[in-house]
């Protein structure tokens, strides 16, 4: 990466299956200068999420305009303002927002870019690309605001070793729940035990439906879904009365040729249960409330921030692939520059 150039990753092809190097195009442009009402931000850290493959495929439903071949890939990150002609943003301020996969960005802080000034919690700025970023808001909004965990409840979390899942596991324990985490492989199951899971299910080797039935003889009170597909279906078969299902993600379905057809949703009726989807951008108004609470938990050592940091902007494509081959643990991030 050349610091005197704006390095960028663009879409070269629509991905089929997991992303591969030929799906990406690397370009370099001159570092731009801000105009009136704009600032120039220098990228420090970038966060990665499964939705980025959907941006590349042209299938994301996020309210953003669809990306075309040749466009800079969408993505949020943490940056420092190095030039500013914007009345509300000063040089030296650290911000979090839609940076895209590039090392510099000009912005007028439009509503679509959703920039936030990062609060200095005396924690590493790198956390603002993940745990104290949109991943953190997803975990907080889905679990705390929508899931409303109660002490003593039996909570099942899929994708429990991932970015959102690893936070939700710890939030559930904070609220006094019994937590069953679902993850892929022995090492990830051991990891989520360290985070506080009372029981684990290895979806790669265990019969998930049988394990859920055994571990939840009285049913699931709250299921936090990060994967969709067959695991969601298995949980629907094991609901307690008045159970809640929170639909956060469905990564198991993102690379399927045909969508998974959920055939047993009527199980909700038998138990007077609810299944609620949510979109993190609909909770933007709760940003600072969520960040303050999460940061407080981290400061009090009640939550362990887990970020899988890959170094070097040149490694962004490989970092995105890690989300789909199951290599990452916690929030997948990239350190563009140390700060």
7-16, 198-207, 246-255, range with the lowest pLDDT: 246-255
pLDDT at 166 over 90: yes
The encoded tokens of residue 178 equal 């019994």
Identify the pLDDT of residue 62. 66
Mean pLDDT value across residues 25-47: 97
pTM tops 0.85: yes
Identify the pLDDT of residue 2. 78
The pLDDT tens digits of the residues spanning 217-233 come to 999 999 999 999 999 99
Query: What is the DSSP annotation of 161-210?
Result: TBHHHHHHHHHHHHTT-EEEEEESSHHHHHHHHHHT-SEEEETTTS-HHH
Domains plus CATH for the chain? 5-130+305-335 (3.90.180.10), 134-281 (3.40.50.720)
Identify the pLDDT of residue 260. 85
Q: CA torsion sign, 277 to 283 to 284 to 290?
A: negative
Residues of the chain above pLDDT 90, percent: 88
**Residue 63 banded pLDDT, cuts 50, 70, 90:** low
Decide: 223 and 156 in contact? Cβ < 8 Å: yes
DSSP β-ladder status, 178-183 and 104-107: unpaired
Largest CA distance in the chain: 63
Mean pLDDT value across residues 169-198: 97
Identify the pLDDT of residue 258. 82
Distance of alpha carbon 142 from alpha carbon 156, whole angstroms: 13
pLDDT at 323 over 70: yes
Q: Which residues pair with 273 in a beta bridge?
A: none
Mean pLDDT value across residues 78-87: 98
Mean pLDDT value across residues 132-154: 97
**Residue 261 banded pLDDT, cuts 50, 70, 90:** confident
The encoded tokens of residue 207 equal 């019969």
pLDDT at 310 over 90: yes
Mean pLDDT value across residues 205-219: 96
**What is the average pLDDT score of the chain?**
95
């Amino acid at each position: 990466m050349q610091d005197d150039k704006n390095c960028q990753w663009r879409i070269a092809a629509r991905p089929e299956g997991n992303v591969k190097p030929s799906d990406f195009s690397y370009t370099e442009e001159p570092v731009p200068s801000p105009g009136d009402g704009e600032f120039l931000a220098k990228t420090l850290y970038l966060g990665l999420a499964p939705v980025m493959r959907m941006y590349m495929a042209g299938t994301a439903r996020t309210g953003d305009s669809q990306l075309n071949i040749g466009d800079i890939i969408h993505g949020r990150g943490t940056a420092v303002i190095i030039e500013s002609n914007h009345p509300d943003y000063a040089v030296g301020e650290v911000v979090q927002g839609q940076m895209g996969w590039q090392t510099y960005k000009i912005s007028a802080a439009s509503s679509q870019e959703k920039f936030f000034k990062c609060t200095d919690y005396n924690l590493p700025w790198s956390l603002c690309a993940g745990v104290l970023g949109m991943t953190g808001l997803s975990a907080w909004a889905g679990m705390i605001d929508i899931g409303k965990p109660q002490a003593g409840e039996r909570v099942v979390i899929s994708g429990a070793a991932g970015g959102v899942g690893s936070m939700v596991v710890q939030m559930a324990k904070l609220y006094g729940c019994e937590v069953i985490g679902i993850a892929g492989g022995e090492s990830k199951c051991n990891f989520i035990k360290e985070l506080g899971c009372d029981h684990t299910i290895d979806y790669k080797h265990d019969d998930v439906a049988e394990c859920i039935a055994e571990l939840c003889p009285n049913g699931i009170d709250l299921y936090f879904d990060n994967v969709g597909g067959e695991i969601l279906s298995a949980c629907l078969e094991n609901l307690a009365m008045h159970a809640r299902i929170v639909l956060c993600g469905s990564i198991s379905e993102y690379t399927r040729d045909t969508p998974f057809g959920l055939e047993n949703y009527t199980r909700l009726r038998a138990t007077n249960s609810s299944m609620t989807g949510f979109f993190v951008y609909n909770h933007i108004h709760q940003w600072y409330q969520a960040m303050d609470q999460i940061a407080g938990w981290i400061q009090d050592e009640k939550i362990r921030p887990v970020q899988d940091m890959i170094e070097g902007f040149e490694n962004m494509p490989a970092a995105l692939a890690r989300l789909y081959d199951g290599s990452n643990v916690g929030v997948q991030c990239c350190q563009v520059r140390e700060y």
